[in-house]
A = this chain, B = another copy of it.
Amino acid sequence: MKLMLHKESNMPLYEQIYMQIVQRVQGGILKAGEQLPSLRTVAGDLQVSLLTVRKAYKLLETKGYVFIQPGKGVYVRGKRKITAKPEDPYEWQRSLPVHVARSQYLMNRQKKYYDFSQAVLFPRLLPTQFLADEMKEVINRNQMLLATYGPVQGDEELRAEITKYLKDHQGLTVNPSDLLITSGVQQGIDLIAQTLLKPGDTVMVESPCYGAAIDVFMNKGMNVISIELDEEGIRSDVVEAICQKKKPALLYINPSFHNPTGTLMSVQRRRELVDLAEMYHFFIIEDDSFGEIYFDDLTLPPPVKQFDKSGHVIYLKGFSKTLAPGVRVAAVAAEGPVFDWLYGVKALMDIGSPLLTQKAMIPFLKTNRMKNHLEKLRTALQIRRDMTVEILSSLTTAAFTIPKGGFNLWVGLPDSIHSLVLLNEAKKQNISFLPGSACFVHDPEHQYIRISYSLLSDKDLQIGMKKLCEVMRDVQDKHSPYPFKS
């Protein structure tokens, strides 16, 4: 493990060392029981004083991330047994200066039955039968589809249908030739980051933020700055203050039913962000994964993209959330020279997304089915949201704002509960959720968790939530605020 310092950063060096190790522990790159390099090694590699490294290690110990075995070394805390493997032939890889610091997926490899950790729909709410039939139809009509590469930009007919969909359902006007099909929104984020950013660029995100977006930016060596939200969305005055000091390359936002907090950005705030992007020439990634899922007969504001007239906003719309994760189709809307750059990089990423699923979803989008389907989804998810809110508020003192749409509830834990301690205990009851720490850029806040009420059946949701509340009360009584300490 080699670390990198940004010597021009405002952050003290010991804090940078501390952060980078915390990120690796949290991102699953450094595992429980692994030994950290010695003070001397780190100091030598980074050309800093021993004192600086010692300060960082001390802080890691205080915060409960590592423990020090006198005379032996410093180890990552956790349950895995420490075994020395002197003959490991792959050990040389650990000394590489690798920049993969975090990936929330590395931590989530173990599935639990009461799964509140994924913002994914309950499979029976999805039009799987229709899609399956249509896929068979597509194969019958044209097997040769499998034998050729599709267009890198994505199927033309699909792009035309998505254009109509965006107009009808999101109030967004785009041109089919300005759409590029990707394998899900996640690939869209990665594509834009690969195309537009270089290490050291400043990227602004909401705080908290969708963890897998943070991970993309952090792993590419960006200088990620997080900006607080209020009830209208990301604070545009803070965005402006940052623009006056630095030259940010990009702002990543979830304006409609923000992941994880569920916040809906006001129209005023949307306009302000576009104004700022035009003035300071940064790109905005508008990740609109949840826009269709609004509750309580809300009137949805237009996407941020709709206010953009000069190619500053790159809009992402996915269909994994509303049609099916197995479909893996999303669209990126971008105008100007940047479109060709994205096209070129998408080709280099995978030579274009497969045609079969693109073709299969066209008939669903074309008919009234999609409209009816979305209405059904809104109803079903509103019921789930209400249930979750009801159980949580009757059984715990957890704090939250009721979301007006989306799949997630952002929960502030009753004081003294550490999210990772809670997760540890919950897993024993076959329950999982996303610890809020995954949604912060630097020093993670541990008093939050994200509950996705989308994946379980009504019944399992009820049972699971009640169990989770029990675990919460249990932990509240018994445990110390730091994980893994006795």
Complex CA gap A317/B100 in Å reads 24
Per CB-CB distance, the 3 closest pairs between chain A and chain B, nearest first, are: A90-B336, A103-B344, A105-B347
Write out the residue numbers on chain B whose beta carbons fall within 8 Å of the beta carbon of A309.
89
Closest CB of chain B to A149's CB: distance in Å? 5
B120 close to A146 (CB less than 8 A):
no
Write out the residue numbers on chain B whose beta carbons fall within 8 Å of the beta carbon of A152.
105, 109
Write out the residue numbers on chain B whose beta carbons fall within 8 Å of the beta carbon of A324.
146-147
B147 close to A105 (CB less than 8 A):
no
16 contacts between A and B (CB under 8 A): A27-B344, A89-B310, A93-B311, A96-B196, A103-B344, A103-B347, A105-B343, A105-B351, A128-B144, A132-B140, A135-B139, A136-B139, A148-B325, A183-B350, A194-B220, A212-B351
Interface centre among A27, A145, A336, A354 (most CB of B within 10 A): A354
Complex CA gap A397/B121 in Å reads 63
Interface status of A355 (Cβ within 8 A of chain B): yes
The A interface, classified by DSSP as helix, strand, loop or mixed, is helix
B100 close to A129 (CB less than 8 A):
no
Q: Given the known A-B contacts A103-B344, A199-B199, are A90 and B310 also in contact in the complex, defined by CB atoms under 8 Å? A: yes
With CB as the reference atom, state the residue of chain B lying closest to A1. Answer: B337
Closest CB of chain B to A363's CB: distance in Å? 15
Closest CB of chain B to A432's CB: distance in Å? 15
Interface status of A207 (Cβ within 8 A of chain B): no
Complex CA gap A136/B325 in Å reads 18
What per-residue 1/0 map shows which CB atoms of A76-102 lie under 8 Å from chain B? 000000000000111011101111101
With CB as the reference atom, state the residue of chain B lying closest to A151. Answer: B109
Closest CB of chain B to A144's CB: distance in Å? 5
B195 close to A100 (CB less than 8 A):
yes
Closest CB of chain B to A315's CB: distance in Å? 15
Q: Given the known A-B contacts A336-B90, A354-B326, are A147 and B123 also in contact in the complex, defined by CB atoms under 8 Å? A: yes
Interface status of A175 (Cβ within 8 A of chain B): no
Complex CA gap A151/B29 in Å reads 19
Closest CB of chain B to A100's CB: distance in Å? 4
B326 close to A355 (CB less than 8 A):
yes
Which of A184-192, A230-238, A407-415 lies on the face that meets chain B?
A184-192
In A125-176, the 8 Å CB interface with B consists of 126, 128-129, 131-132, 135-136, 139-140, 143-150, 152
Q: Given the known A-B contacts A105-B344, A123-B147, A326-B145, are A89 and B129 also in contact in the complex, defined by CB atoms under 8 Å? A: no
With CB as the reference atom, state the residue of chain B lying closest to A191. Answer: B349
Q: Given the known A-B contacts A139-B135, A139-B136, A281-B92, are A103 and B335 also in contact in the complex, defined by CB atoms under 8 Å? A: no
Closest CB of chain B to A24's CB: distance in Å? 11
With CB as the reference atom, state the residue of chain B lying closest to A339. Answer: B90
With CB as the reference atom, state the residue of chain B lying closest to A340. Answer: B106
> Which of the residues B128, B135, B340, B356 comes within 8 Å of A29, measured between beta carbons?
B340
Interface status of A28 (Cβ within 8 A of chain B): yes
Interface status of A242 (Cβ within 8 A of chain B): no
Complex CA gap A484/B121 in Å reads 56
Write out the residue numbers on chain B whose beta carbons fall within 8 Å of the beta carbon of A219.
194, 344-345, 348
This chain's copy number in the assembly:
2
Interface status of A338 (Cβ within 8 A of chain B): yes
Interface status of A215 (Cβ within 8 A of chain B): yes
Interface status of A442 (Cβ within 8 A of chain B): no
In A185-239, the 8 Å CB interface with B consists of 186-187, 190, 194-196, 198-199, 212, 215-216, 219-221
Interface centre among A92, A340, A345 (most CB of B within 10 A): A345
Interface status of A251 (Cβ within 8 A of chain B): no
With CB as the reference atom, state the residue of chain B lying closest to A349. Answer: B190
Q: Given the known A-B contacts A28-B340, A90-B337, A147-B123, are A351 and B184 also in contact in the complex, defined by CB atoms under 8 Å? A: yes
Interface centre among A97, A100, A147, A219 (most CB of B within 10 A): A147
Interface centre among A131, A221, A337 (most CB of B within 10 A): A337
Interface status of A341 (Cβ within 8 A of chain B): yes
Write out the residue numbers on chain B whose beta carbons fall within 8 Å of the beta carbon of A396.
none
A348 close to B28 (CB less than 8 A):
no
Write out the residue numbers on chain B whose beta carbons fall within 8 Å of the beta carbon of A136.
136, 139-140
B98 close to A196 (CB less than 8 A):
yes
Interface status of A74 (Cβ within 8 A of chain B): no
A350 close to B135 (CB less than 8 A):
no
A336 close to B93 (CB less than 8 A):
yes
Interface status of A456 (Cβ within 8 A of chain B): no
Q: Given the known A-B contacts A90-B311, A336-B93, are A123 and B103 also in contact in the complex, defined by CB atoms under 8 Å? A: no
B186 close to A92 (CB less than 8 A):
no
Interface status of A357 (Cβ within 8 A of chain B): yes
